[in-house]
Amino acid sequence: MTHLSDAEMARWIAWKRANDAVLAAVAQEIQGAAGLSAADFAVLSRVIENGDGRMPQQDLGEMLDWKRPRLSRQLSRMAERGLLRREDGAGRRVLVIATDEGRHALAAARPAHARAVRKALFARASGDFWDVVQDIAGN
C-alpha cells in the first residue's frame, strides 16, 4: 500500500496536532514565566546544563541539530538581550557563555517547563503510550 488509509491519516494528523499543542503549551508557559522563547530555552538549557555555562558554538549547534545560520542568528538575538555572550576560544572556536541574566532566566523557566510538560503531556498519556514512544526513540 503506497498511501495511508483514512484511519491511518487521521491518526497521523492527530499525532502532529497533539505534538504541536504540547510544544505550544510548554513554550507559552516558559515565555510567561521567564520571557524566553522555546529557542532561547533550548540554547540556555544546553549551555548551562551540558556545558556548565560555556560551550563551543559548534558543539551547541550539533547538540541542537541546527544549521550554522540559524544558530548564529539565535545567538546574536540572545546576546543583544544579555542572555549570553560569545568569545573567541582556542583554535578559532567560538565559545558561547551564559551570562548571569541568562542563568536567572533559565532558573525562572525550569519550574514553568516542568509544570507545562506535566500538565500538557504526562497527565494525559498512559503507560502504553510511553512504551511506544521509547520504542520509536530507540530506548
Side chain identity at residue 36, one-letter code: L
User: In sequence order, what are the beta bridge partners of 54?
Assistant: 97
H or E element at residue 87 = strand 84-88
What proportion of the chain, given as a percentage, has pLDDT over 90? 77
The fold of the 35-122 domain, in CATH, is Arc Repressor Mutant, subunit A (1.10.10)
Question: pLDDT for 107-130, tens place per residue?
Answer: 999 999 999 999 998 888 877 887
Mean per-residue pLDDT of the chain? 93
8 A C-beta contact, residue 60 and residue 70: no
